């Protein structure tokens, strides 16, 4: 209904390969972008800071994992560890006197190097074995963090993040933090949107579908697997550093433990492998829905006057949220991104039922 | 009167001058777009004219000059259009032929005029020309082809690619700095623009030469009648050998600087149309019917909610249009329904078919069914009827956007005069009327009487100046009881049913009228699938009792509108479609009555002798040229 395609034609291949071929998609993206910019003036500061900001940073992180899992098809269970590497190296760099701009890049690059180590495992093993190998590396990283006082200050200590400053401007306000997160998320999104239409993106998809078939096509799967891990790790590292700098304000090993890894993977899978808009939805579901369900149950039990004990009240939302994930994946195994795609397709051919030949 | 001004303006214009004008004052706007491998390759007017000039210079080198002709053979291609213009610049005859033209037809053309060169679309067409050459025809010394695929190893004399021709032409243009000027000013207004052929429902097609003055006058008349504005976006998909395509895609496009969009191939027209969303669209009633069927079939397959929404808005809109057609005004809520319907149903449907920017939509060639007409008006497309023939460069009368009646074809265009002959024949006079059939003085004298063109159509003028066309005057027939009827009129009414593709009404000199029909394979095939009617082939499907019941309904509907004496009494569903390759219809899908009556003598006899069945063997010409036979016994159905 909203998607109008008549009159859309391409006079050269450049125009044919642009990101938004459907005017309605482009308009929607522009609209969301404007809302993102205007958010500090629309949304109360509490929500801005405790919902919008983590949502955006985790989305950027999830997009990074989507690159390696959704695009290149490599299961990764140690993503949080890579984020930790970025966070700690960036903080240490700043404490050493490096400006934040470079510190973020240093964090990203360090993550890249460590993350590429995962890739060497991926070159040897596949599927479940790769999952287990990356999981093992997560544990190794956990152990290193908790047992190196030089990096973390010890198992129960936490490391204070210096005040964020970008372009010579100290950032201390909520609005400032939000714009930093927003800017990073937009940057990663633009990168991912473009990835789809580059040779790199196509090579990654070829590796995902069948790495030896890709090799026959002349795609060096060794090179692309390492590239995928390195790129995704860079995104992870910067996201981890920004998460600490704008949200947690201090870094502790448990912020990047194995369950966080699994949570990010869940965000990607619920959102949809290889889907950009899906990553946004997936993060929102995993990150924000528990709070919403909690609040709903609390108000419901209050207004109905039910005397539910605190422990049950704490567990019911968890059960509901778990059920929600199961239901979504049952309805559409390809995740929320695909659900959105289905709605889009439905409207695309409106009022007909399918595309005519 | 405005007519005087029109005559003045067109008097001195030629294609050369118009090309020069477009290239110098609008050099950077897009003249033509051609789709190639999914990409619309654009040429500006400056580039376009440069290619036309190079082509003209090249053709001149190869002996194209006034009095000679160049055959243009193929589907719509940008280069073929450029080639036609180049030939006109040289004052020679550009002679487009239908891409499906057979060897005999080509040989007939060769007999008429000295064809010195041919511009062909691809290997298929080149093969045809080479075969004609091999069959001993003189002429066609040079064959130029557009699509090079498959032609790499051909070593025939005079065969060259378009690029080679352009190279030769460019070289010539560079050598002589005055050549451009010379080419652009060479042809005069009365020099030929195009050599076409009348459709030839009776006998061999006759050659029609239209001068540049004729076609430009026609374009101007059309513009003044409101058929098209400046800078229209149009889709060049109609056969190049049809006068309507030439008048719009070449003459009007040149005069009013249209952007001509050439689809990738015939099969992709629907998709390409959506990508272009033309502002002007001309189609035969059959195409409009087909699109209507596609929309309706698509909606039937849709989900209940969408179906309900569609019917909710569509039923109201068609009712409103029917009221308007009958001169009644609508209710107060009508604009509200119109607005919502446009947003929810009509807009999306128009978008799917690339009609969302359509301002000037036309149907012509034959009568259009009320259902189809009202449907498109309801959809918000101001579909209009127009009337014209090859001899008057396609444009003689058309309806105004807001003044539409079903039975008229509108007012004569400014610059066209209409007179009704005593015999009831429509006579036309205009600057766009041709000078006479090519080398056929007797036929010309019959058709042209003191500049008045005898259209051969029976009709009359209404008091408000609207022209009504009844049918071919030569086709007015009488039953045994002396009842006067026009078979074509009844056949068109039959064809308004989506299930009937072609029909032939017989009964001249007999007591009752009967008909032979060909079912529409697509529509009936789909109906059969939905209703669980099994069939294996066209001939099987056409004879099924369930299908006969379907046809029966259509016949009852038509009979309701006919007087008692003219009602159709029996019919036979034929086991094969009418096909231009078999000579049963012309390439523009007009019935060749004599051929059909001859070929189906047995069937016609059986329709009247009371038998219940008739055995037929119909001739089928395959695309390879082989001739086969379809044998079957057909039941005769009573209405």
Cα separation of B398 and B384, whole Å? 7
**Are B137 and B107 spatial neighbours (Cβ–Cβ below 8 Å)?**
yes
- CA A74/CA A169 separation, integer angstroms: 39
- B474 pLDDT more than 60: yes
In a domain, A241, yes or no: yes
CB-CB neighbors (< 8 A) of A11 in chain B: 33, 39-42
- Tell me how crowded residue B33 is: count the other CB atoms within 10 A of its CB: 25
Which residues in chain A have Cβ-Cβ distances shorter than 8 Å to B345? Answer: 351
Which of A9, A10, A352 is nearest residue B352 as measured by Cβ atoms? A352
Tell me how far apart the alpha carbons of residues B428 and A178 are, in angstroms, rounded to a whole number: 76
A11 to chain B, any CB pair closer than 8 A? The answer is yes
Q: How far is B292 from chain A (nearest CA, A)?
A: 14
- Please tell me the predicted confidence (pLDDT) of residue B205: 83
Residue with the bigger pLDDT between B209 and A196: it is B209
Contact (Cβ atoms closer than 8 angstroms) between residue B52 and residue B165: no
Would you call B40 and A9 a contact, using CB atoms and an 8 Å cutoff?
A: yes
Q: Under an 8 A CB cutoff, do B39 and A12 touch?
A: yes
Higher pLDDT, B202 or B371: B371
Q: Which residue has the tokens 């374009």?
A: B219
- Which of chain B's residues have a Cβ under 8 Å away from the Cβ of A22? none
DSSP code, position B248: I
pLDDT at B138: 74
Q: Indicate whether A29 belongs to any domain.
A: no
Cβ–Cβ under 8 Å, residues A109 and A126: no
**Helix H or strand E segment including B31:** strand B30-36
Q: Which of B260, B277, B355 to mutate to test the interface with A (most CBs of A within 10 A)?
A: B277
* Res B159: pLDDT: 93
% of chain A residues with pLDDT over 70: 98
Residues near B437 by Cβ (< 8 Å), separated by ≥ 6?
A: B198, B206, B207, B208, B443, B444, B447
pLDDT classification of B8: cutoffs 50, 70, 90 = very low
| Cα separation, A39 vs B635, whole angstroms | 76
Q: Which of A6, A12, A349 sits opposite B277 (nearest CB)?
A: A6
CA A342 from chain centre, in angstroms, equals: 22
Instruction: Measure in Å the smallest separation between the Cα of B329 and chain A Cα atoms.
Output: 29
A-chain CB neighbours of B274 within 8 Å are 5-6
A299-319 mean pLDDT: 78
Of A1, A9, A349, the CB nearest to B344: A1
B134-160: average pLDDT: 89
What backbone torsions phi and psi does residue B244 show, to the nearest 5 degrees?
-60, -40
Judge: B38–A356 Cβ closer than 8 Å, yes or no.
no
At A230, list the tokens.
């390195």
Could you tell me the pLDDT band of residue B1, with boundaries at 50, 70 and 90? very low
Q: A13 touching B, CB under 8 A?
A: yes
Token pair, residue B135, equals 């069959």
Mutate to test the interface with A, among B233, B298, B313 (most CBs of A within 10 A): B298
Q: Is the pLDDT of residue B615 over 90?
A: no
How many Å apart are CA B126 and CA B71, to the nearest integer? Answer: 11
In terms of Cβ atoms closer than 10 Å to its own Cβ (0-12, 13-18, 19+), residue B7 is middle
Q: Residue B158 pLDDT more than 70? A: yes
With bands split at pLDDT 50, 70 and 90, how would you rate the model's confidence at B6? very low
Query: In this predicted structure, what is the pLDDT of residue B58?
Result: 95
Strand partners, B33: B42, B261
Q: Closest approach of chain A CAs to the CA of B340, in angstroms?
A: 12
B356 with A6: Cβ contact below 8 A: yes
CA distance B193 to B286: 29
Beta strands in B172-315 (DSSP E): 192-197, 207-211, 233-235, 259-262, 280-283
Q: Are the C-beta atoms of A11 and B40 separated by less than 8 Å? A: yes
Cα B257 to the center of its chain, rounded Å = 22
Q: What is the mean pLDDT of residues A90-105?
A: 92
For residue B323, which of B310, B309, B306, B337 has the smallest C-alpha distance? B337
- The total domain count for chain A is 1
Q: Indicate the pTM of the whole model.
A: 0.84
Average pLDDT estimate for A24-40: 94
- Which residues have C-beta within 8 Å of that of residue A132, sequence separation ≥ 6? A77
Average pLDDT over residues B560-570: 84
pLDDT of residue A275: 93
- Average pLDDT (B479-490) is 82
Domain B476-638 classified CATH 3.30.300.30? yes
What is the mean predicted confidence (pLDDT) over B47-75?
A: 94
The alpha-carbon gap from B613 to the nearest alpha carbon of chain A, in Å, equals 39
> Helix, strand, coil proportions of chain B in percent (round to 5)?
45, 25, 35
Helices (H), B62-120: 78-89, 103-112
A195-206: average pLDDT: 91
pLDDT exceeds 80 at position A75: yes
Q: What are the pLDDT digits (tens) for B579-599?
A: 888 888 888 788 888 889 888
Confidence of residue A171 (pLDDT cuts 50, 70, 90): confident
From the list B39, B347, B351, the residue facing A11 with the nearest CB is B39
Give the pLDDT score at B582: 83
Check residues B198 and A241 and name the one with the higher pLDDT: A241
Residue B309 to residue A351, Cβ atoms within 8 A: yes
The sign of the dihedral angle between the CA atoms of B234, B237, B241, B244 is negative
Q: What is the pLDDT of residue A318?
A: 79
Burial per residue of B581-620, b for 16 or more beta-carbon CB atoms within 10 angstroms, e otherwise: ebbbbbbbbbbbbeebbebbeebbebbbeeeeebebebeb
Q: Where in chain B is the domain with CATH 3.30.300.30?
A: 476-638
Residues of B with CB under 8 A from a CB of A: 33, 38-42, 270, 274-277, 294, 298-299, 301-303, 306, 309-310, 344-345, 347-357
Comparing B40-49, B75-84, B473-482, B530-539, the range with the smallest average pLDDT is B473-482
Identify the pLDDT of residue A293: 83
Per the CB < 8 A criterion, the answer to whether B256 and B219 are in contact is yes
* pLDDT of B560 strictly over 70: yes
A183: domain CATH number is: 1.10.3470
Residue B625 has pLDDT above 90, yes or no: no
- Region B493-512: what's the mean pLDDT? 86
**Rg, chain B, Cα only:** 25
Mark yes or no for CB contact B298/A353 under 8 Å: yes
C-alpha span between B400 and B261 (Å, rounded) = 26
CA atoms within 13 A on the CB side of B147: 18
Minimal CA separation from B486 to chain A, in Å? 38
| Mean local confidence (pLDDT), B548-570 | 87
The length of chain B is 639
When pLDDT is averaged across residues A220-244 and rounded to a whole number, the result is: 93
Measured distance CA(B118)–CA(B142) in Å, rounded: 6
**Looking at residues B424-441, what average pLDDT do you find?**
90
Q: Give the gyration radius of chain A's Cα atoms.
A: 22
Cα distance between residue B424 and residue B458, in whole Å: 5
CB atoms within 10 A of CB B331: 12
Which residue of B40, B314, B317 is the best one to mutate when testing the A interface, meaning the one whose CB has the most A CBs within 10 A? B40
The answer to whether B348 contacts A354, with C-beta atoms less than 8 Å apart, is no
CA of B357 vs chain A CAs: smallest distance (Å): 8
Which chain A residues are closer than 8 Å to B28 by Cβ?
none
pLDDT-based confidence at residue B5 (cuts at 50, 70, 90): very low
CATH number of the structural domain B2-209: 3.40.50.12780
DSSP-derived secondary structure for A166-218: ETTEE--SHHHHHHHHHHHHHHHHHHHHHHTTSHHHHHHHHHHH-HHHHHHTT
Range of the domain at A178: 42-348
CA torsion, ordered B327, B331, B332, B338, to nearest 10 deg: -80
Run of H or E residues at A270: helix A258-271
User: In the predicted model, is pLDDT for residue A155 greater than 70?
Assistant: no
Q: Given a cut of 90, is residue A355 above it in pLDDT?
A: no
Q: Do B39 and A356 touch (CB under 8 A)?
A: no
| Separation in Å, CA of A306 to nearest CA in chain B | 41
CA-closest candidate to residue B162, choices B117, B116, B119: B119
C-alpha angle B281/B210/B21, rounded to 5°? 70
So what's the ipTM on this one? 0.82
Cα–chain-centroid distance for residue B263? Answer: 16
Q: Could you count the other beta carbons within 10 Å of the beta carbon of residue B247?
A: 30
Partners of B119 in the beta sheet? Answer: B72, B144
- Using 50, 70 and 90 to split pLDDT, how confident is the model at B200? low
Say whether pLDDT at B216 is over 90: yes
List, for residues A323-334, the tens digit of each pLDDT value: 888 999 899 999
* Number of inter-chain CB pairs under 8 A, A vs B: 71
Q: Cβ distance A145 to A253 under 8 Å?
A: yes
pLDDT digits (tens, 9 = 90+) for B388-412: 888 899 899 999 887 777 778 899 9
- Is A56 a member of any domain? yes
CA distances from A340 to A275, A332, B130, B271, B527 (A): 10, 10, 57, 25, 34
| Percent over 90 (pLDDT), chain B | 50
Residue B3: pLDDT over 60: no
Q: Do B277 and A7 touch (CB under 8 A)?
A: yes
Q: Is A319 helix (H, G, I), strand (E, B) or coil?
A: helix
Q: 3-state DSSP call for residue B620?
A: strand
Q: What does the pLDDT look like over B448-469, one tens digit per residue? A: 888 899 988 888 888 888 998 8
Residues constituting chain A: 357
Check: CB of residue B72 under 8 Å from CB of residue B84. yes
CA–CA separation, B89 vs A135, rounded Å?
78
Question: pLDDT > 70: what percent of chain B?
Answer: 97
| Tokens at A245, concatenated | 């700098």
Cis amide leading into A351 (omega within 30)? yes
Residue carrying the six token digits 């970025």: A86
Give CA B160 to chain center in angstroms.
Answer: 31
Q: How far apart are CA B502 and CA B513, in angstroms?
A: 16
What gap in Å lies between CA A166 and CA A164, rounded to an integer? 7
Distance, in Å, from the CA atom of B217 to the CA atom of A153, rounded to the nearest integer, reads: 92
CA distance B295 to chain A (A): 8
Q: What is the C-alpha to C-alpha distance for residues B296 and B200, in angstroms, rounded to an integer?
A: 35
Residue A357 pLDDT > 80: no
Q: What pLDDT score does A172 carry?
A: 85
Please list every residue in chain A whose beta carbon sits closer than 8 Å to the beta carbon of residue B41.
Answer: 11
**Cα–Cα nearest to B495, from B507, B485, B505, B508:** B505
Q: Which residues contact B83 (CB under 8 A, 6 or more apart)?
A: B55, B59, B70, B72, B94, B119, B144
Residue B370 confidence (pLDDT) above 60: yes
Would the pLDDT of B621 be above 80?
Answer: no
Residue spans in chain B of domains classed CATH 3.40.50.12780 = 2-209, 283-473
Residue A30 resides in a domain: no
Contacts of B352 in chain A (CB under 8 A): 6, 349, 352, 356
B337 forms beta bridges with: none
- CATH homologous superfamily for the domain B283-473: ANL, N-terminal domain (3.40.50.12780)
Sheet with B513-519, side-by-side order of all strands: B500-506, B513-519, B568-573, B637-638
Q: Which is more confident, B362 or B627?
A: B362
Q: Do A353 and B355 touch (CB under 8 A)?
A: no
Nearest CA in chain B to A17: B39
């Amino acid at each position: 209904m909203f998607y109008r395609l008549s009159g859309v034609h391409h006079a050269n291949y450049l125009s044919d390969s642009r990101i938004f071929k459907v005017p309605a998609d482009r308009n929607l993206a522009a609209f969301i972008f404007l809302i993102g910019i205007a958010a500090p003036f629309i949304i109360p500061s509490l929500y801005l800071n405790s919902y919008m900001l983590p949502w955006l940073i985790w989305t950027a992180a999830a997009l990074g994992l989507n690159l390696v899992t959704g695009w290149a098809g490599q299961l990764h269970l140690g993503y949080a560890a890579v984020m930790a590497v970025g966070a700690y190296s960036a903080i240490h760099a700043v404490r050493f006197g490096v400006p934040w701009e470079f510190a973020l890049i240093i964090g990203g690059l360090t993550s890249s190097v460590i993350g590429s180590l995962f890739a060497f495992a991926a070159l040897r093993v596949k599927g479940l074995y790769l999952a287990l190998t990356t999981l093992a590396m997560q544990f190794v990283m956990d152990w290193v963090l908790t047992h190196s006082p030089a990096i973390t200050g010890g198992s129960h200590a936490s490391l204070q993040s210096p005040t964020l400053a970008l372009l010579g401007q100290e950032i201390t306000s909520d609005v400032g933090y939000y714009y930093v997160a927003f800017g990073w998320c937009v940057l990663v999104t633009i990168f991912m949107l473009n990835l789809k239409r580059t040779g790199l993106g196509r090579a990654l998809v070829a590796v995902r579908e069948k790495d030896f078939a890709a090799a026959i096509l002349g795609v060096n799967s060794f090179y692309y697997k390492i590239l995928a891990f390195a790129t995704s790790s860079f995104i992870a590292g910067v996201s981890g550093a920004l998460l600490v700098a704008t949200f947690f304000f201090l870094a502790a090993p448990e912020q990047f433990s194995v369950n966080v890894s699994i949570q990010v993977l869940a965000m990607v899978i619920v959102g949809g492998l290889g889907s950009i808009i899906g990553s946004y939805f997936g993060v929102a579901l995993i990150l924000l829905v528990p709070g919403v369900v909690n609040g709903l149950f609390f108000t419901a039990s209050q207004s109905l006057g039910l005397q539910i004990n605190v422990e049950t009240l704490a567990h019911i939302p968890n059960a509901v949220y778990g059920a929600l994930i199961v239901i979504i994946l049952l309805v559409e195994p390809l995740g929320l991104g695909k659900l959105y795609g289905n709605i889009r397709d439905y409207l695309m051919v409106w009022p007909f039922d399918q595309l005519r030949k | 009167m405005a007519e005087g001004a029109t005559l003045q303006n067109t008097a001195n214009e030629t294609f050369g001058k118009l090309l020069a004008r477009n290239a110098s004052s609008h050099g950077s706007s897009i003249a033509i777009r051609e789709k190639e491998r999914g990409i619309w390759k654009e040429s500006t007017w400056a580039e376009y004219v440069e290619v036309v000039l190079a082509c003209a210079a090249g053709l001149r080198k190869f002996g194209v000059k006034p009095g000679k002709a160049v055959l243009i053979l193929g589907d719509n291609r940008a280069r073929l259009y450029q080639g036609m213009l180049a030939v006109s610049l040289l004052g020679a005859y550009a002679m487009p032929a239908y891409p499906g033209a057979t060897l005999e037809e080509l040989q007939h053309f060769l007999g008429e005029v000295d064809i010195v060169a041919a511009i062909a679309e691809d290997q298929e067409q080149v093969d045809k020309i080479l075969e004609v050459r091999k069959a001993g025809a003189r002429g066609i010394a040079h064959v130029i082809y557009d699509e090079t695929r498959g032609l790499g190893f051909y070593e025939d004399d005079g065969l060259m690619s378009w690029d080679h021709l352009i190279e030769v032409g460019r070289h010539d243009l560079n050598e002589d700095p005055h050549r451009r000027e010379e080419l652009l000013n060479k042809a005069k207004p009365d020099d030929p623009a195009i050599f076409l052929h009348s459709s030839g429902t009776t006998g061999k097609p006759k050659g029609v030469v239209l001068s540049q003055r004729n076609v430009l006058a026609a374009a101007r008349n059309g513009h003044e009648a409101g058929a098209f504005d400046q800078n229209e976006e149009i889709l060049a998909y109609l056969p190049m050998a049809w006068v309507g395509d030439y008048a719009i895609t070449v003459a009007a496009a040149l005069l009013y600087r249209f952007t001509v969009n050439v689809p990738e191939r015939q099969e992709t027209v629907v998709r390409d149309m959506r990508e272009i969303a033309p502002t002007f669209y001309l189609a035969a009633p059959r195409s409009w019917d087909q699109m209507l069927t596609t929309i309706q079939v698509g909606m039937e397959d849709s989900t209940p909610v969408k179906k309900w929404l569609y019917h909710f808005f569509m039923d109201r809109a068609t009712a409103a249009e029917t009221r308007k057609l009958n001169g009644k005004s609508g209710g107060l809520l009508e604009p509200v329904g119109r607005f919502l319907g446009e947003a929810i149903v009509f807009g999306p449907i128009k978008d799917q078919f690339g009609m969302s920017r359509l301002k000037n939509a036309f149907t012509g060639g034959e009568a259009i069914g009320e259902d189809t007409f009202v449907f498109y008006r309801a959809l918000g497309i101001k579909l209009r009827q127009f009337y014209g023939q090859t001899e008057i460069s396609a444009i003689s009368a058309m309806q105004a956007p807001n003044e539409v009646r079903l039975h008229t074809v509108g007012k004569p265009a400014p610059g066209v005069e209409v007179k009704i002959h005593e015999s009831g024949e429509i006579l036309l006079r205009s600057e766009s009327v041709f000078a006479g059939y090519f080398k056929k003085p007797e036929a010309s004298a019959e058709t042209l009487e003191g500049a008045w063109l005898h259209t051969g159509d029976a009709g009359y003028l209404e008091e408000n100046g609207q022209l009504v066309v009844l049918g071919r005057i030569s086709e007015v027939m009488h039953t045994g009881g002396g009842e006067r009827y026009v078979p074509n009129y009844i056949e068109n009414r039959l064809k308004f049913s989506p299930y009937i593709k072609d029909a032939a009404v017989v009964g001249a000199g007999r007591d009752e009228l009967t008909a032979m029909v060909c079912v529409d394979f697509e529509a009936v095939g789909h109906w059969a699938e939905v209703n669980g009617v099994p069939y294996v082939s066209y001939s099987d499907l056409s004879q099924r009792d369930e299908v006969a019941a379907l046809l029966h309904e259509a016949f009852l509907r038509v009979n309701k509108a006919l007087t008692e004496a003219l009602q159709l009494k029996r019919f036979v569903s034929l086991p094969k479609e009418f096909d231009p390759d078999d000579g049963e219809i012309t390439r523009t899908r007009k019935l060749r009555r004599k051929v059909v009556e001859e070929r189906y003598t047995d069937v016609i006899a059986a329709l009247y002798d009371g038998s219940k069945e008739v055995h037929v063997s119909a001739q089928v010409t395959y695309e390879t040229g082989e001739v086969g036979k379809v044998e079957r016994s057909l039941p005769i159905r009573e209405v």
